[in-house]
Amino acid sequence: GPAHLAAAVGAPVVSLFAPVVPAERWRPWGVPYVLLGDQDAPCAGSRARTCPVPGHPCLESVTAHDVRAAVEKVMQA
């Protein structure tokens, strides 16, 4: 996806990353990155193509402040 394309050209990455696949395996490589989203949510590891948990709690908890802080962090790396 877009996060991997950004990493491929060396751009730092902030990604809203649902835990349905393991972050350690599927996160962007080789660049500064921050993954936002509850990686311990009930859907973790389920490999679901659509959210199996009503309300999308793993990503709904991410705030605009979280995104801004993550961008500032990767830009300083």
Q: Look at residue 50 in the predicted model and tell me its pLDDT.
A: 83
Quick check: 48 and 70 in contact, CB under 8 A? no
Mean pLDDT score of the chain: 92
Q: How confident is the model at residue 42 (pLDDT cuts 50, 70, 90)?
A: confident
Report how many domains make up the chain: 1
Q: What percent of the chain has pLDDT over 70?
A: 100
Q: How confident is the model at residue 3 (pLDDT cuts 50, 70, 90)?
A: very high
Q: How confident is the model at residue 56 (pLDDT cuts 50, 70, 90)?
A: confident
Q: State the residue range of the domain holding 32.
A: 2-76
